[in-house]
Amino acid sequence: MALTLWHNPRCAKSRAALALLQERGIAPNIRLYLKSPPIEDEIVELLRHLRVPAIGLVRTKEPVFSELDLADSDDEALVAAMAAHPILIERPILDDGTRAVIGRPPEAILDLI
């Protein structure tokens, strides 16, 4: 099973999730989604793996969320906003290609392995 960690190395929770995996001898593929932003189709696929609506993947406390007035947006608008502003994507996320989990708290990623 190939694991991909959607990772932001500046985020303490993301670093903690990576450390949890490494402590168990797991070396996931690292997706630096801020440097290589996902396209809308990738976000839609990730949402399917997470089994959550788009708002479940959005960092609603990011200033850009308010700046773009996204509070009442539908899934399509939220996906477009995340593609345009990947800082809106919650992290960390561990994806096995079929299922995914958001690492909030970081230990939640262990549910996938």
Catalytic positions, written as ranges: 11
Gap between the Cα atoms of 25 and 21, Å rounded: 7
Cα–chain center distance at 18: 13
Gap between the Cα atoms of 59 and 13, Å rounded: 14
What is the three-class DSSP state of 102?
strand
Beta strand pairing call for 4-6 and 93-95: antiparallel
